[in-house]
Structure 1
């Protein structure tokens, strides 16, 4: 039966190719969107979880979160260090971590902050030591991997967040003191130094980051609270009564995911529509197969084949098509994730993973098999009324 099913499939290559192509396209789209959505949700939640609030300059709350926590956007501006550090005295605040940036090295952001920032993401040293002096820096795992610098190497930063060689601070080089282990967070894609280094490197009249000994500025302040109510109360107070802006990362990330979810649902809808068309294509192909091969099927009955065996033959043909289409679609979906990951890595310094099939994809396979069974039964209805003697006589 397996051999006959295979021979029947390859005897109509165009019909077979069309059915497989439609199935492949639908599975490719569905698995691609499923993995992108799943990994993006995990990535955003994992990176925003360490902090309850971010305070920065007035502007877009989402931009503030994207720039200060996810490091994939430009900051809304700079804020006075003295002003935000007064917030530390608020009894509802448990801890504050200032962050400041404005420079990069070969496209990777140099972040000025405290070593507590590294600990918040659970990052530990792979080699070397943490930065303790001005112009010492530690590299995230991906930065060290891509730039291939060793502990003790020196480098100079360039002004701005985009790689350029024109505005390099040659007179104030940094020294790489350590490399962090991979964490799967934004830390992997950062070069981390202390705040003083960021201030000092811009001492000679920077238009965007002003800093004098009596009036230092930072990009943002990251906070954690003793309880969730404190975050809500302080957020309202800051946004209403000060020149600063407070944003809640979880709230802004949820809004972003809700917005992105519309696009994901649209693509999934297209994938499901293509899957239905693929199922219909398989169904029509099977009907044609049964109709055109009635003489062959009648001969099989004369050789002792039962109706159930004929049904099995039709089902195996459909199953071959479905499984080939599913496997191709899943494989090409993973290839697409790999290609997209390379683009995401260049633009957003974030890698997507190539994961093994998950439960949702297994359910998708069951749906395809169910469609195959249903199409086989409907297409094979005429086999129950097969008039062997009449068909052979007419032939």
Structure 2
């Protein structure tokens, strides 16, 4: 009979002991692998999305909120700023590029971003089909938006107020038209509907005009029959004028020519203007540090559970070996040497470690899947279910070593086994 088969049968012969050891071991492994994957993928996503820009300029408020809303698109903006105020920044000698962005509407929960074509170039976003926007209310869709909403070239849609899906169609006088669909980038662009700034200005300028003419809104929707010139609005949609002094944007995304700009320009803006400047790299590092304390706490708990699981393996095997003294003595009479008996016990411990690691790894990935579904529905970000990574292989090695040590400590009585006495006592 093979030792591996005998070891497996011995392991499952005590289901309660096996279940307790597996629960502790799989819990510690699932916590460690879940936290590792979550921190790595979130850190990677954050770094990838902030990389194209060095500074964000927006309305006064929380700098972290400004970065989260304007760069990562997971928060509400701090307010709007006047386009004329940032004109000098766009021409500043320290500035390489300055991309204005403006938003405030959504389509079924996906944000509509008004900006320039240069915004897409910063994320290396390329078209998979169609063309870029050229006229107002022409849109290119990120790949995730197109796939989830089933959008195709030529489709039209009506935007809703706000950044969350409310189901209230607000700008029915100005339907957006899909002109292009972007290739996957793995960045925030995949979650956006991108148009030009004029689209945002015209939509909201007409909304203001409609408010003055009608004096009321019903459910957030402007009713065309109340003012009776629907056709005129459609014909003149692209000719509505937004007064120069009233043009506003949500923020300005800046790329510096040299590190000197990062040192001097943010401080100047914060101290001498009505706007604020935030550095995405600094704010994200601060956010990661806050998350890091939680990660360390969870890893500490997981390590403690792992040590307890090692102790559980030791106690379980010690109890099993003592209960099976007669069986071990009988195996010696069949020709098995002390080293083989020790190998049998060691196989039991390693089998337990491997099964516990496999279950814990699966539970950890299931947790990642659950968080990914929540993030996808709430923020539009998803996480990947990845194969075992080097850090997890090291964890497996640590668990195997821990199980081997626990097994060897529990198996010391094998070396003192008196075959004749044990069999006679039986």
The question of a shared fold, defined as TM-score above 0.5 by the shorter chain, is answered with yes
- Give the match for residue 352 of structure 2: 321
Matches within 5 A, 1:27-176: 27-176=29-178
- Give the match for residue 243 of structure 2: 212
Distance 1:280 1:350 in 2: 40
Distance 1:167 1:133 in 2: 22
Distance 2:9 2:77 in 1: 63
Distance 2:85 2:297 in 1: 45
Unaligned 5+ runs, structure 2: 212-241
Does 2:401 correspond to 1:370?
A: yes
Unaligned 5+ runs, structure 1: none
User: What TM-score do you get using the length of structure 1 for normalisation?
Assistant: 0.97
**Aligned to 1:296, which of 322, 327, 331?**
327
1:7, distance to aligned residue in structure 2 (A): 1.5
1:389, distance to aligned residue in structure 2 (A): 1.5
- Give the match for residue 377 of structure 2: 346
1:167, distance to aligned residue in structure 2 (A): 4.7
- Give the match for residue 238 of structure 2: none
**Aligned to 1:270, which of 289, 301, 318?**
301
Describe the superposition over 1:186-226 as per-residue Cα deviations: whole angstroms up to 9, x where unpaired.
Answer: 0000000000100000013299xxx6333210000000111
**Aligned to 2:282, which of 225, 248, 251?**
251
Structure 2 SS opposite 1:301: helix
Structure 1 SS opposite 2:321: helix
Distance 2:301 2:278 in 1: 35
1:321, distance to aligned residue in structure 2 (A): 0.9
Structure 1 SS opposite 2:381: coil
1:301, distance to aligned residue in structure 2 (A): 1.4
- Give the match for residue 21 of structure 1: 23
Does 2:260 correspond to 1:229?
A: yes
Structure 2 SS opposite 1:205: helix
Matches within 5 A, 1:275-286: 275-286=306-317
Structure 2 SS opposite 1:196: helix
1:331, distance to aligned residue in structure 2 (A): 1.3
1:166, distance to aligned residue in structure 2 (A): 2.6
Shifted more, 107-116 versus 295-304: the winner is 295-304
Please tell me whether the aligned partners of residues 84 and 245 of structure 2 are also in contact (alpha carbons under 8 angstroms).
Answer: no
Structure 1 SS opposite 2:254: strand
Distance 1:261 1:41 in 2: 10
Structure 2 SS opposite 1:214: helix
Describe the superposition over 1:37-58 as per-residue Cα deviations: whole angstroms up to 9, x where unpaired.
Answer: 0000000000000001000000
Structure 1 SS opposite 2:198: helix
Describe the superposition over 1:102-131 as per-residue Cα deviations: whole angstroms up to 9, x where unpaired.
Answer: 000110000000011011001100111100
Q: 1:303 to 1:165 in 2, by over 3 A?
A: closer
Describe the superposition over 1:319-367 as per-residue Cα deviations: whole angstroms up to 9, x where unpaired.
Answer: 1111111111111211221121110101111010011111000000000
Distance 2:373 2:259 in 1: 38
Please tell me whether the aligned partners of residues 158 and 169 of structure 2 are also in contact (alpha carbons under 8 angstroms).
Answer: no
Distance 2:246 2:169 in 1: 24
